[in-house]
Amino acid sequence: MALLELPSWAALAPMLLLLATALVLFVVDSIRPGETGRGLLAGIATVGSLASLGVAVWFIVAGVGQPGLEGLGVVELFDGQLVVDQMALYFTIVVAVVTALVAIASYDYMDGHAYQAEYYSLVMLAATGMATMAAANSLVTIFIALELASLPSYALVSILKDNRGSVEGGLKYFLIGALSSAIFVYGISLVYGVTGSLQLTAIADTIAAGDADPYGGLLGLGIVMLIGGFAFKTASVPFHFWAPDAYEGAPAPISAFLSSASKAAGFVIAFRVFTEAFPVGATADLIGLDWTLAFVILAIVTMTVGNFAAATQNNVKRMLAYSSVGHAGYALIGLAGLGADGGELVMGAAMMHLLVYGFMNTGAFLFVALAEHWGVGRTFEDYSGLGRRAPVACFALAIFMFSLAGIPPLGGFWSKYFLFSAAIDAGLLLVAAALVINSALSLYYYSRLVKAVWFDEPLADRDALAQPIGLYTAIVIAAVVTVLLLPAFGPVSETAVEAAAIVVG
C-alpha cells in the first residue's frame, strides 16, 4: 500500500489536519477580519474535520497500528512520546466525527454571534488537543495535550460574553480545571519521583523490575492523583460538579462537543495510562492495592450519582449534563474490568459505548441547540408539543433518547449489552447489576423528554418554526448513524476489541 512510502510522522496526519484547519481559519479571518462569511468558516471547519476523519478511517482500514504488520505497525514518534496505534486512531475518529457535527451545527447556532472565526479555530484547536490525547504515550505529552484541549474549551464555554450563565459556567470550568490540572501534574511528579521516567512503558518496566520498591505508597498516591485528573476531564464523580453548569451555560454545540469528544479523549488517556504504565499485577504488588478496585467504586458511584441527579432536573440541558455523568460511569467499567481475564473485551465494549455515545449524545445536545435557536425555552414544559411543528427533528430526538436509555434495538442498547456481558465475563457482577439498574432508571427521565415533545399539548401557540439547514443536517446525520451503527457493529466491535487487545497486551 502507498502508505509504506510515507514518512513515519505522516501517521499523525489526522491530528495535523485538525491543527492545520485551525491555522487556516486564523489566516482566512485575518484577511478580512470580522467580515468573512460564516458559511466559509463553518465550511472550512467541517471539511477539515471530515478530512481528519477520512484519513483516520483510511489508516485504521489500511492497518496502521496493527502490530506485526511490516512498516505499518504501531508507529512510535519522538522517542515514544507519541504513539499511533489502533486505539489512537479509533478515538481520533470519535473526536473528528463529533467535531464535524458540531461545526455543521454551529453554522446556524453561531449566526449573529461575534467572534465566529475565533470560535471555529478554538473548536479545531481543542479537537487537536483531544486527538493528541489519544496518541500521547508519556505523561508529559498527556499533560500538554490535556491542556491544549482544556484551554480552548474554557474560552468556548464562555464565548457568549453577554450571557451570565455562559461566563459563570466558563469560570467554574476554568477554576475546577486549573485545580485538577494541578492535582494531575502533582500526580505526574510523584510518579516520576518514584519511577524516574515519564514514558508509559518505561514506568511499567521500572515497576516490573522492582526498582520502585520502597516507594509503593508514594506511587499509589500519584496514581490516585492521576485518577483525579482524568476524572475531571471525563466528568466523573467526584470531579463532576463543573459539568452541569458548564454544559448549561455553554453554547449547546459546545456542550455536545465537551460531553462527547472531550469525554472520549479523557477516557483514552485513562485507558492508556492504566494499561501501559501501571499493569494491574505488578502495580498491585508494589502499592499493596489493586487499582481496579478504585474504578469499580468510581464506576458504580458515578453512574448512580449521575442518574439520580438527572432524574430530578427540570432543565433539559442540565438533565443531559447529568446523564453524561452517568454515561461516564458506564464507560468506567472498561477500566474496572482490566484486572480479569478478558479485560480487553470490557475495554473494547467501553470504547464501543463511547463511539455510540459520540453520536447519540451529540445529537441530543444538538437538538437542544435547535431548541435554543427557536427560542422555545429550556424546561421540559417548554419542549412540549414540538413534535407537531418539527416531526423530523423530534423523531431524531426520540432515537437519541431511547438509545441513551439503552432501549433495544438502538445502538445504546448494544453497547450497554456488550459492556454488561463483558463485565459478567470478567466477574464484575456488582458493576453489571449497577449498570442494569441505572439503565432502567434512566428510562424515566429520557422518556420524559420524548413524552414532552410528542404527547404533550404545547403550552402556547407557536409560530412556524424555522428549519435551519446546518442544525437539521447535523441532527439527521447523528440520528441516521445512531441507527446505522447497528449493522456496522461488526467492524466497529472488531476494531474496538482489537485496539483494546493491543493496548492491554
Partner 1 sequence: MMIEMLIAVALLGAAVVFVAPNRYAGKLAFLISLVPATLSLWMYTAFDGSGNALLGGDLAYETQLEWLTFGDYAISWFVGLDGISLPLVVLTTILTTLAIVSSWTPIDERESQFYGLVLFIEANLIGVFAALDFFVWFIFWEAVLIPMYLLIGVWGGPRRKYAAIKFFVYTNVASLVMFGAFIALVFGLGDAVTSFALPEVTAAMLDGGPEGLFGVGGTTLASIVFVAMFLGFAVKVPVVPFHTWLPDAHVEAPTPASVLLAGVLLKMGTYALLRFNFTMFPHEVVEPFLVPIGVVAVVSVIYGAMLALAQTDLKRIVAYSSVSSMGYVILGLIALTQFGVGGATFQMVSHGLISGLMFMAVGVIYNATHTRMVTDMSGMADRMPVAVGILIAGSFGYMGLPLMSGFAAEYFIFFGAFGAAFDYAPLFTALAMFGIVIVAGYLLFAMQRAVFGPYSLETDYEVTRAPLHDIAPMFVLLGLIIALGVAPDLIFEMITDAVDPILENGGEL
Q: Does 451 bind partner 1 (CB under 8 A)?
A: yes
CA distance 272 to 289: 20
Report the nearest approach of partner 1 to the CB of residue 14 (Å). 25
Which secondary structure element, helix H or strand E, spans residue 83, and what is its range? strand 82-84
Q: Does 490 bind partner 1 (CB under 8 A)?
A: yes
Selected range binding partner 1 among 136-144, 160-168, 169-177, 422-430, rule: CB under 8 A: 422-430
Residues 345-364 within binding reach of partner 1 (CB under 8 A) = 345, 349
Report the nearest approach of partner 1 to the CB of residue 90 (Å). 16
Single out the residue of 36, 81, 421, 473 in contact with partner 1 (rule: CB under 8 A). Answer: 421
Q: Residue 95: CB partners within 8 Å, gap ≥ 6?
A: 127, 130, 131, 134, 261, 264, 265
> Contact 412/331 with Cβ under 8 angstroms?
no
Report the nearest approach of partner 1 to the CB of residue 496 (Å). 10
Residues 59-88 within binding reach of partner 1 (CB under 8 A) = none
DSSP state of 375: T
x-marked contacts with partner 1 along 327-346 as a string, rule CB under 8 A: ---------------x--x-
Report the nearest approach of partner 1 to the CB of residue 492 (Å). 8
> Contact 340/295 with Cβ under 8 angstroms?
no
Which C-beta is closer to partner 1: that of 142 or that of 503? 503
CA distance 205 to 40: 50
Q: Does 478 bind partner 1 (CB under 8 A)?
A: no
Q: Which of 317, 405, 326 is nearest to 368 (CA)?
A: 317
Single out the residue of 392, 469, 484, 505 in contact with partner 1 (rule: CB under 8 A). Answer: 392
Q: Does 454 bind partner 1 (CB under 8 A)?
A: yes
Q: Does 422 bind partner 1 (CB under 8 A)?
A: yes
CA distance 397 to 409: 15
CA distance 323 to 311: 9
Selected range binding partner 1 among 150-158, 249-257, 299-307, 386-394, rule: CB under 8 A: 386-394
Single out the residue of 255, 307, 361, 493 in contact with partner 1 (rule: CB under 8 A). Answer: 493
Selected range binding partner 1 among 122-130, 280-288, 330-338, 405-413, rule: CB under 8 A: 405-413
CA distance 440 to 40: 44
Selected range binding partner 1 among 41-49, 66-74, 103-111, 481-489, rule: CB under 8 A: 481-489
Report the nearest approach of partner 1 to the CB of residue 143 (Å). 35
C-alpha cell, 167: 461566563
CA distance 276 to 504: 7
Single out the residue of 402, 445, 446, 472 in contact with partner 1 (rule: CB under 8 A). Answer: 402
Binding-site residue total for partner 1 (CB under 8 A)? 32
CA distance 462 to 465: 8
Q: Does 34 bind partner 1 (CB under 8 A)?
A: no
Assign 3-class secondary structure to 236-272. CCCCCCHHHHHHHHCCHHHHHHHHHHHHHHHHHHHHH
Say if residue 457 is exposed, middle or buried (CB neighbours under 10 Å; 0-12, 13-18, 19+).
exposed
> Contact 24/144 with Cβ under 8 angstroms?
no
Single out the residue of 391, 469, 484, 505 in contact with partner 1 (rule: CB under 8 A). Answer: 391
Which C-beta is closer to partner 1: that of 26 or that of 489? 489
Q: Alpha carbon of 209 to those of 200, 205, 280: distances in Å?
A: 14, 6, 14
Three-state DSSP state, 1: coil
Which C-beta is closer to partner 1: that of 68 or that of 490? 490
Q: Residue 297: CB partners within 8 Å, gap ≥ 6?
A: none
Selected range binding partner 1 among 65-73, 176-184, 288-296, 395-403, rule: CB under 8 A: 395-403
CA distance 463 to 254: 27
Q: Does 118 bind partner 1 (CB under 8 A)?
A: no
The torsion angles phi and psi of 377, rounded to 5 degrees, stand at 100, 180
Q: Does 489 bind partner 1 (CB under 8 A)?
A: yes
b/e string for 331-348 if b means 16 or more Cβ within 10 A?
A: bbbbbbbbbbebbbbbbb
Single out the residue of 281, 409, 484, 505 in contact with partner 1 (rule: CB under 8 A). Answer: 409
Which C-beta is closer to partner 1: that of 178 or that of 392? 392
Selected range binding partner 1 among 147-155, 161-169, 205-213, 403-411, rule: CB under 8 A: 403-411
Which C-beta is closer to partner 1: that of 175 or that of 429? 429
The torsion angles phi and psi of 460, rounded to 5 degrees, stand at -130, 160
CA distance 224 to 42: 41
Report the nearest approach of partner 1 to the CB of residue 397 (Å). 12
- The residues of the shown chain that bind partner 1, judged by CB under 8 A, are 342, 345, 349, 387-388, 391-392, 395, 398, 402, 407-409, 413, 418, 421-422, 424-425, 440, 447, 451, 454-455, 486-487, 489-491, 493-494, 497
